[in-house]
C-alpha cells in the first residue's frame, strides 16, 4: 500500500531527471504530506515526448458518474492489475512514473495508536513509482487521474506493511513508459531488500493538514 507521499524535488530538477517537458500547472514543491485526491507530479509519454504533468491521485474509471461514485482507487495491485476492469486498459496503454522523495506507512502500538514511518531510498536518490493513468469526465469537468501500482513487500518493508509501491529503477523507465517495447509486467516486483531505509516520524503526519520538513525527521526511540 502507499497512502501518503513526500516530494521535495524542484520542478526543473524533475524535468531534467526524467528528460520530460514540464507543464505549466504543476503542484508546488516541496510538499511533505501529499494525500489522496491531491495533484501529484507524473511522467508520461504523449506523441513520443515525455511530459511532466499534474494528475489527481485517485484513479477514476470512465464509468464513474462523479469522482465520488465509487471507491477511491489510489493503488492498483500488481497481481491483478491486468484483469481488473478498472485498470486493465490503463495497464496496457497508459503507464506513468510518479516521482517522490519518499512515502509514509503506518504500524500500530499495543494501544492501537497509528505510528507513522517515512521510507526513502537508502542512497537518498529520488523514487519513481510505477503508475497508471486515466482521463475522466468531459470539458470543464475533465480530470487526469492516476494510481500507484503496489506489490508484496520485500523482507525489511514487511516489518511495517505487507504491501509496498512498485519502484522503477532509472534503467527501466523506458520499458515502463512503453518506449522500449513490451515486457513492463516484469517490472512489477518489490525493490531489493537493501534499496530502502525507514524510520519513525512525528504522528502529526496522521493529519492531512500537517506540513513542513519536520514531518520526515526521525521521531522517538
CATH code of 53's domain? 3.90.1680.10
Q: How many domains does the chain have?
A: 1
In a domain, residue 61? The reply is yes
* pLDDT one digit per residue (tens) for the chain, 221 residues: 689 999 999 999 999 999 999 999 999 999 999 999 999 999 999 999 999 999 999 999 999 999 999 999 999 999 999 999 999 999 999 999 999 999 999 999 889 899 999 999 999 999 999 999 999 998 788 999 999 999 999 999 999 999 999 999 999 999 999 999 999 999 999 999 999 999 999 999 999 999 999 999 999 76
Which residue range is the domain that position 54 belongs to?
A: 4-216
pTM recorded for the entire structure: 0.96
In a domain, residue 116? The reply is yes
**CA–CA gap between residue 164 and residue 123 (Å, rounded):** 18
In a domain, residue 221? The reply is no
In a domain, residue 151? The reply is yes
In a domain, residue 102? The reply is yes
In a domain, residue 176? The reply is yes
**CA–CA gap between residue 50 and residue 213 (Å, rounded):** 30
Strand partners for 166 = none
Distance of CA 96 to the CA centre of its chain: 10
Q: Quickly tell me which residue has 509514509 as its cell.
A: 104
Would residue 50 be called left, alpha or beta, if left means φ above 0 and alpha means ψ between -120 and 50 degrees? beta
Q: Under a CB-based contact definition with an 8 Å cutoff, are residues 219 and 210 in contact?
A: no
In a domain, residue 95? The reply is yes
In a domain, residue 25? The reply is yes
Amino acid at each position: 500500500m502507499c497512502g501518503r507521499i513526500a516530494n521535495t524535488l524542484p520542478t526543473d530538477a524533475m524535468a531534467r531527471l526524467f528528460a520530460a517537458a514540464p507543464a505549466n500547472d504543476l503542484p508546488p514543491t516541496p510538499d511533505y504530506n501529499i494525500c489522496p485526491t491531491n495533484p501529484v507530479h507524473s511522467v508520461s509519454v504523449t506523441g513520443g515526448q515525455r511530459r511532466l504533468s499534474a494528475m489527481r491521485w485517485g484513479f477514476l474509471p470512465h464509468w464513474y458518474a462523479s469522482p465520488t461514485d465509487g471507491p477511491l482507487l489510489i493503488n492498483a495491485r500488481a497481481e491483478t492489475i491486468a484483469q481488473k476492469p478498472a485498470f486493465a486498459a490503463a495497464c496496457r496503454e497508459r503507464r506513468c512514473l510518479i516521482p517522490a522523495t519518499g512515502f509514509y506507512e503506518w504500524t500500530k502500538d499495543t494501544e492501537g495508536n497509528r505510528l507513522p514511518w517515512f521510507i526513502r531510498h537508502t542512497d537518498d536518490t529520488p523514487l519513481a513509482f510505477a503508475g497508471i493513468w486515466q482521463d475522466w469526465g468531459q470539458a470543464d469537468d475533465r480530470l487526469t487521474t492516476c494510481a500507484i501500482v503496489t506489490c508484496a513487500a520485500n523482507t525489511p518493508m514487511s516489518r511495517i506493511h505487507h504491501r509496498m509501491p512498485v519502484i522503477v529503477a532509472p534503467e527501466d523507465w523506458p520499458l515502463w513508459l512503453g518506449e522500449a517495447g513490451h515486457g513492463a509486467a516484469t517490472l512489477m516486483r518489490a525493490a531489493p531488500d537493501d534499496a530502502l531505509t525507514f524510520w519513525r516520524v512525528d504522528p502529526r503526519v496522521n493529519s492531512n493538514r500537517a506540513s513542513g520538513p519536520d514531518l520526515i525527521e526521525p521521531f522517538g526511540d
